[in-house]
């Protein structure tokens, strides 16, 4: 009966534990851990919201641009349309290729421009411009996304550090008690606050990892479409401008 009464007393104490009180009454180390995790979580949610809107707009504008590109017969008209679709990475790649092509056509009166060597050099310049723009657009799409991976990888361990520290303090408090009956009540709060650190670490990490994988897949698709468009654009340029 003695053990049963101890459990009932402990259960009554557990019901009275308040999360806010546990967090405010935690040690400075645990509070620092919770502060870091909260900041990482807030930043991660900001990035998630921003990237969802950004990639959705990039997807819509890219589809709009590709529809215009394949329906139009004049590159200058396509360029005017691309100027209104700044969030589309594919339109930015086209603009880079079109600007380089315009420079080459303006120099077509030179003798070297009409030779085989000049044509090959012109095609290589356009290809470099397309590749450069593709790398720049992929870098822009990937901006801030690595922070989600960092949060997903480190937040659980930061929370675990807070948990280990809290449990260590709980056992230190237990060792200082005169009786075991008082000890089990003394460690209830520190252990609870320690577990809160782990819980918040997981709450910060799980959505960050899910969002990172989602954004990585979306960016990979857009990157592949940029590569495909660059090849198609080069083929069109070779057929119509470098005969």
Whole-angstrom CA distances from 26 to 18, 119, 129, 163 are 12, 72, 57, 11
Please tell me the distance from the alpha carbon of residue 210 to that of residue 159, in angstroms, as a whole number.
19
pLDDT at 11: 43
Tell me the pTM.
0.78
pLDDT at 173: 64
Q: Please list, in sequence order, all residues whose beta carbon lies within 8 angstroms of the beta carbon of residue 85, skipping any fewer than 6 positions away.
A: 61, 62, 64, 65, 91
CB count within 10 Å of CB 212 equals: 23
- Tens digit of each residue's pLDDT (9 = 90 or more) over 191-206: 777 788 888 899 999 9
Is the CB of residue 150 less than 8 Å from the CB of residue 224?
A: no
Mean pLDDT of residues grouped by 10 in the chain (243 residues)?
A: 44 49 64 89 96 95 92 87 90 91 72 52 84 94 95 92 80 60 59 80 94 96 94 86 62
pLDDT at 146: 95
Can you give the residue ranges of every domain in the chain?
2-241
pLDDT at 147: 96
pLDDT at 206: 95
Please tell me the distance from the alpha carbon of residue 90 to that of residue 141, in angstroms, as a whole number.
12
- Tens digit of each residue's pLDDT (9 = 90 or more) over 123-149: 888 889 999 999 999 999 999 999 999
């Amino acid at each position: 009966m003695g053990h049963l009464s101890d459990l009932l007393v402990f259960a009554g104490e557990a019901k009275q534990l308040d999360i806010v009180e546990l967090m405010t009454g935690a040690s400075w180390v645990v509070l620092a851990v919770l502060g870091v995790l909260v900041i990482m979580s807030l930043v991660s949610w900001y990035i998630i919201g921003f990237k969802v809107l950004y990639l959705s707009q990039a997807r819509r504008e890219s589809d709009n641009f590709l529809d215009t590109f394949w329906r139009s017969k004049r590159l200058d008209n396509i360029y005017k349309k691309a100027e209104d679709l700044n969030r589309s990475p594919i339109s930015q790649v086209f603009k880079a290729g079109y600007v380089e092509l315009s420079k080459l056509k303006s120099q077509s009166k030179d003798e070297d421009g009409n030779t085989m060597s000049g044509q090959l050099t012109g095609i290589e310049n356009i290809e470099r411009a397309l590749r450069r723009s593709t790398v720049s657009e992929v870098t822009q799409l990937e901006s801030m996304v690595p922070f989600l991976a960092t949060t997903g990888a480190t937040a659980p361990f930061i929370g675990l550090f807070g948990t280990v520290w809290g449990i260590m303090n709980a056992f230190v408090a237990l060792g200082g008690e005169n009786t075991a009956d008082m000890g089990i009540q003394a460690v209830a709060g520190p252990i609870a606050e320690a577990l809160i650190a782990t819980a918040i670490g997981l709450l910060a990490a799980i959505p960050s990892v899910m969002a990172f994988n989602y954004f990585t897949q979306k960016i990979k698709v857009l990157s592949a479409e940029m590569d495909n468009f660059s090849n198609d654009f080069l083929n069109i340029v070779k057929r119509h401008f470098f005969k």
